Structure formats: C-alpha cells, structure tokens
Amino acid sequence: RAIDGIPTATFLWKERGVVPFLKIDKGLEAEAEGVQLMKPIPGLDALLDRAAKAGVFGTKERSVVNAADAKGIAAIVDQQFAIGRQVAAHGLMPILEPEVTISISDKPQAEALLQAEILKALDGLEGTVMLKLSLPTIPDFYLPLVRHPKVLKVVALSGGHLRAKANEILAQNHGIIASFSRALSEGLSAGQTDAAFDAVLKEAIDGIHAASIT
C-alpha cells in the first residue's frame, strides 16, 4: 500500500526511521523429526520483487524446533538458508528464524545442535543474514554467531517468556538485541485509553531497549 503516494515501507523507513521487514512464511508443517518446517511459499519470487520495489529492507521466516533431533534440526537449517538465499537474490536481507520452543526438556541440547548446523551453513554462504533465535539457556551461548562475519545481527524472540523474564535473560546475552512481539504487547488492550495504551507501550519499549544494550 501507499501513504501520500509513497510505498508504505519506503515512507516508514525514510520519513519515520523504521526499517521495514516483510513476514513471508505461510505457516508450519506438521511436526516431523522434532521440528516444524515452513509450508511452501507459492509466488515467493514475485512477492520479493514487489517488496524490493516498495522499499522493504528484508524478510522474516519462522520455523520451530521442538526436540534435540539432529536430523530434524539439520533439515530446518537447510530450509531456512535455502529461503534466505532466495531472498538475498532479490537484494533483500533475510532474517532466518528457527525458533527453539522454550518449554522443551532438551532445550540446551537443541540449541547446541542448532548452532553447529548454522555455523556449518554460514561457512558456505555468500553474503550475510540476520538470525532471530530463542533466548538461550546458557548466557552468551550464541556469541560465535554474534561475532560471525556473515551475520549482520542476532536478534532474540521472547518465545512466551513474560517480558520481565525475557528482559532479564536478554541482558545476559551480549551483542543480541530484542525482536519481541508477545513480550512487547504484554499488558496492551484495545479497551485502554490512548494515554494508558501509550504509557504501557512506552514502559515496555524502555525496558526492552535497556535489556538490549546491556
């Protein structure tokens, strides 16, 4: 769409300083081998062409890890990087998002397998990607990814943690910034007055920002 004849993404970026990303996945497949891969994305090349022309900076695509299954995690990383390369071919920055479910009993093992697969995929990558990952069990566990020359930025999803807990964990992970949605919207309601809504949102943003720069 457009604002005053300017593509909305371009307007947000150039006029408001908001860097625009486009969510491109179409949901998740049924779980197999401990993961949920992305469903096929029909018409993706045409969509990416439109996004580039509209001034979108990058894309986001989510899949889910529900167990420390080596074969499944390898498949999820392969799919994420394949889509990422397709996105990059259109001049856009891909955010790869293989989310690890925070409630699984083998989360540390899943994170170790995931990081190992991502590092292998990065070694064969031309260009750069961003990574959106669940907050790790071990503080600073993802520093090898944060410091990798082919990773523009690692951002964290809240994954179902309440905002206070998500901020606490985020502050322990240097070089990672928040990309929270569920935690950001915590406490917001359509029934609030504008002033109350703005106050709750400001408190959320201030707290998340502070955790991101610790």
**What does the pLDDT read at residue 1?**
87
Under 8 Å between Cβ of 36 and 63: yes
Instruction: Choose, from 97, 99, 111, 117, the residue flagged as catalytic.
Output: 97
**What does the pLDDT read at residue 214?**
82
Active site residue 97: yes
Q: What is the average pLDDT value for the chain, to the nearest integer?
A: 96
How large is the average pLDDT for residues 72-82? 98
How large is the average pLDDT for residues 100-115? 98
pTM of the shown model? 0.94
**What does the pLDDT read at residue 155?**
98
How large is the average pLDDT for residues 162-170? 97
User: What percent of the chain has pLDDT above 90?
Assistant: 97
Instruction: Choose, from 107, 111, 117, 132, the residue flagged as catalytic.
Output: 132
Q: For residue 203, what pLDDT band results from cuts at 50, 70 and 90?
A: very high
How large is the average pLDDT for residues 10-19? 93
How large is the average pLDDT for residues 48-71? 97
